[in-house]
Amino acid sequence: MNKNTLAAERLAAGDLRSDLDLTSAELRTLLHLATEVKAKPQDYTHELRGKYATLLFEKPSLRTRLTFELAVKQLGGDIVVSIGMIGDREPVQDIARNLDRWTQSIVARVFSQQTIDDLAKWSRVPVINALSDVYHPCQALADMQTVAERCGSCKGKKLAYVGDGNNVAHSLLLTGAKLGMHVAVATPAGFEPNATIVDQAKVFAAENGGSVTISNSAKGAVTGADAVYTDVWASMGQENEAEERKRIFAPYQVNRALMANAEKDAIFLHCLPAKRGQEVTDEVMESPQSAIFDQAENRLNAQKALLLMLMR
């Protein structure tokens, strides 16, 4: 499949509200395109010429905002940015129908998945979920590109996620399962991922030769893993729970002893920002196994591929 064919592929759903909007075939195409874009960025510098994306951000951001800004601009387009709560001054349906007359896509980083769904319902242009309380699909795309680069492929590899069963865990479950990975998630009791999302991931895993395992055993999840992943124990909006979560999650810290249960050449992943010394030690973060900055770099490349498949 050549560059022009790849870039011409479009997502059937027309939006990326969640990982569910990507079929397994589309996901593989997107990751292939992300690899091509990374290898030859100069071939794609005019693909979005004359097109604009709106960035709507309710939450602070480093990687998401900068990589989307750079992605659109490096593809030849431009961006406009709005920071603040969506729907405070006017309803979401009015915002969506203003923006779709000015720009060719809406990238939203929000507190509620309902905001993403409402934007997509009312907008005539593609809506991209840049993070919600339920999903973080753009992060998972970059993660899978990183696993493929560092481990040779995603299919058949074991990905262990240790920590809170949050939006990142949900996206890893769904995306990993669609790529035929063996995804093992370990959380403290009461912090497991959403059961409906787990069931959906199990269906995808069965279709693609992978598996999904949910447990409360960090060691069990990490044993034999090719990639070990964690995230902060208290996400934005959970600050009042931070101290209690530190106590509950302490046995789930990714440290040298836990990593020793993984494959010898296993990589460490984290979506960042990290609370060093809490969910992960400095020793692991700075080890040769750490691929965290490869992940950050690949946010740019995976999002370029996503934009090409939605905006061209």
Out of 17, 170, 182, 299, pick the active-site residue: 299
- Catalytic residue, from 17, 28, 109, 150: name it: 109
170 is catalytic: no
Q: Is 109 a catalytic residue?
A: yes
The answer to whether residue 231 is catalytic is yes
Determine which one of 28, 104, 138, 139 is catalytic. Answer: 139
Does residue 271 have an active-site annotation? yes
Active site residue: 28, 63, 65, 136, which one?
136
Active-site annotation holds for 32: no
The residue from 271, 289, 295, 303 that is catalytic is 271
Q: Is 299 a catalytic residue?
A: yes
**Residue/partner pairs of 8-12 with CB below 8 Å, 24 or more apart:** 8/312, 9/33, 9/309, 10/309, 10/310, 10/312, 11/309, 11/310
Helix and strand numbers (H, E) in the chain are: 13, 9
Dihedral of the alpha carbons of 35, 38, 39, 40, in degrees to the nearest 10: 120
Residues with Cβ within 8 Å of 76's Cβ and at least 6 positions away in sequence, in order, are 45, 46, 47, 48, 49, 50, 51
Q: Which amino acid belongs to residue 97?
A: R
Strand positions, DSSP E, the chain: 52-57, 78-83, 105-109, 127-131, 158-162, 182-186, 211-215, 227-230, 267-270
Catalytic residues: 109, 136, 139, 231, 271, 299
